[in-house]
């Protein structure tokens, strides 16, 4: 691995997909039985002011950047379009250069540019990775 490249591990839980920067992991433990999910309603005060289905934690104890991403409508799968969040996780897994930047567009069509080397962890709700089927009325 080149000195400037990133080693990021991507995995899924029951509700989220995670990407962890190996340089930022100081402890890990493999559990046979995972923790029970904690519903958001139980601790409304702790979650007040929080939104979004995409959370990006910056390195060195930096802030958590949150935004809401609306899944892409399904397209013809023959064109190979996997959606921007799935493509983002693919980029993270490919030992990207730490100086490389990635662009994400949120539900308001606002662009965010993220330096790959500044990411400690990414957490995305699995629902945001799935295409949304439009229902005809």
The rounded distance, in Å, linking the Cα atoms of 7 and 96 is 8
pLDDT at residue 6, as a whole number: 78
The predicted pLDDT at position 42 comes to 44
pTM above 0.85, yes or no: no
Categorize the per-residue pLDDT at 13 as very low, low, confident or very high, splitting at 50, 70 and 90: confident
CA angle at 95 for the pair 93 and 98, rounded to the nearest 5°: 115
57-96 tens-digit pLDDT: 999 988 999 989 887 665 555 566 788 888 899 999 887 7
Evaluate whether residue 32 is within a structural domain: no
Domain count, the chain: 1
> Who's near 51: CB < 8 A, 6+ residues apart?
66, 68
Q: What is the mean pLDDT of residues 13-28?
A: 87
Q: What is the pLDDT of residues 92-129, one digit of tens each?
A: 988 778 888 999 988 888 999 999 999 999 999 998 88
Q: What is d(CA 60, CA 21) in angstroms, rounded to the nearest whole number? A: 11
Would you say residue 71 lies in a domain?
yes
User: Could you tell me which residue, 3 or 26, shows the higher pLDDT?
Assistant: 26
Q: How far apart are CA 84 and CA 118, in angstroms?
A: 19
Instruction: Please report whether residue 135 resides in a domain.
Output: no
Residue 123 within a domain: yes
Give me the phi and psi of 66, to 5 degrees please. Answer: -120, 140
* pLDDT-based confidence at residue 44 (cuts at 50, 70, 90): very low
Residue numbers of the domain that contains 121: 8-25+44-129
Band (36; pLDDT cuts 50, 70, 90): low
Gap between the Cα atoms of 58 and 119, Å rounded: 5
């Amino acid at each position: 691995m080149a000195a400037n490249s990133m080693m990021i591990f991507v995995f899924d839980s029951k509700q989220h997909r995670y990407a962890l920067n190996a340089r930022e992991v100081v402890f890990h433990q493999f559990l046979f039985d995972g923790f029970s999910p904690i519903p958001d309603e139980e601790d409304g005060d702790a979650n007040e002011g929080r939104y979004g289905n995409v959370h990006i934690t910056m390195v060195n104890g930096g802030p958590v950047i949150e935004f809401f991403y609306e899944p892409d409508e399904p397209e013809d799968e023959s064109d190979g379009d996997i959606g921007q969040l799935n493509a983002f996780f693919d980029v993270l897994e490919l030992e990207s250069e730490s100086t490389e930047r990635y662009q994400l567009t949120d539900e308001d069509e606002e662009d965010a540019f993220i330096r790959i080397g500044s990411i400690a962890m990414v957490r995305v709700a699995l629902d945001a990775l799935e295409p949304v089927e439009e229902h005809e009325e």
